Amino acid sequence: MATLSTTMPTMLDWAKTRDPSGNTADIVEMLAQVNSAAQDQVMVEGNLPTGHQTTIRTGLPTAYYRMVNAGTPPSKATQVQVTENCAMLESRSHVDFKQANLQNDSVAYRLQQARAHVEGMSQTDATTMFYGSAANPEEYVGLSNRYNDLSAANADNIIDAGGTSTDNMSVWLIGWGDNAIHGIFPKGSNVGIDHQDLGVDDVDDADGNPFRAYKDLFQLDKGLVVANWQYGVRIANIDNSDLIGATGTQAASAATAVIKLMSRAIDHIPSIDSVNAAFYVNRTLASHLRVAALDKSNSAVTIEPAINQFGRSIHQMMFLGIPVRLQDVLTVAEARVV
């Protein structure tokens, strides 16, 4: 049974060690509540002010058998340096001064407004983590654009579920670790997260007329590094219509049925007990798996009592001992991966 490593710091862990005031930790906690990957994703401080440069081994040295009195030719590993940049995500909150102070607790009211901004940032970051594209230089490149070619070097970790239409979805198995797949924040920054209370100032309404408002700025500087592509597995081309109808490629007897492919995905991770491993699914897939957990003949999917990172009792969905996390940003309208 795979267990989450306790030695690799997640974003919440970094926040707790970096900000004695608790301000950033509170924001990170809100991020973790609305973005399930935040509780698993290992974070590494970048070695650059704007990101992280890493060396990735692309080939091993050649080993030779030799005879007595015969030499061995030299060989070497091949490697490439990759620089990953952190994207700068921002959200601003303007709360009418009068409206806030009409409340019994103006601070609580501002926090209520802030939560919406933090949730929006969290959802945007989650979308970028899975779908960010180099075509949008302000973003970082997400997982779908790194695992998107069945003839690429990492094609061994793209499992084709057989869907051929445009209503496809993916299931992701990610092993988070500092030598596997991890998030990054800029060197010397506060876990990439910052909240600035800008005080009270004039802001303009829709007609350009000024009014006094509390102003807050929220910033999240973050990137993604795939140090070893073997620690990410994409089950692609899961046909949404087939899954809902339990027919075709998603019939129980089909070799491409998602539960069978999730089992196969585990064997694509080199050392699953050495990383924070989790499956990420959309709501349609989560519902399918939850129903599967009720089937007495099925022992792969379970719903187990657990305590989350905030000390609250939950019922965690597990697949063969690996947490299954809900990610609403995962769409049911993916193009076919070929």
Distance from C-alpha of 329 to C-alpha of 94, rounded to nearest angstrom: 27
Average pLDDT score over residue span 295-302: 78
In which band, very low, low, confident or very high, does the pLDDT at 134 lie, cut at 50, 70 and 90? very high
SS3 at position 123: helix
CB neighbour class for 216 (10 Å; exposed up to 12, middle 13-18, buried from 19): buried
Nearest to 278 by CA among 236, 312, 205, 327: 327
Query: Dihedral, CA atoms, 12, 17, 21, 27, nearest 10 degrees?
Result: -10
* pLDDT exceeds 80 at position 97: yes
> How far apart (Å, rounded) are the C-alpha atoms in residues 181 and 167?
28
Q: What per-residue confidence (pLDDT) applies to 293?
A: 84
Contact by Cβ (8 Å): 297, 185: no
User: pLDDT band for position 3 (50/70/90)?
Assistant: very low
Q: Between these two residues, 307 and 141, which has the higher pLDDT value?
A: 141
Q: For residues 140 and 183, give the distance between their C-alpha atoms in angstroms, rounded to a whole number.
A: 11
**pTM recorded for the entire structure:** 0.82
So where are the chain's domains? 11-56+81-326
So what's the pLDDT on residue 25? 62
Minimum mean pLDDT range among 5-9, 125-129, 161-165? 5-9
Alpha helices in the chain (DSSP H): 11-18, 23-34, 97-102, 106-131, 240-245, 258-266, 283-293
Q: Which two tokens stand for residue 243?
A: 């899954």
Tell me: the pLDDT tens digits for 46-69? 999 988 988 777 677 889 888 887
Give yes or no for residue 30 having a pLDDT over 70: no
| Confidence check: pLDDT of 13 > 70 | no
Residue 192 CA to chain centroid, in angstroms?
15
Judge contact between 68 and 95, C-beta under 8 A.
no
Residue 174 pLDDT > 80, yes or no? Answer: yes
3-state secondary structure of 151: coil
Instruction: Find out whether 100 and 214 touch, Cβ atoms under 8 Å.
Output: yes
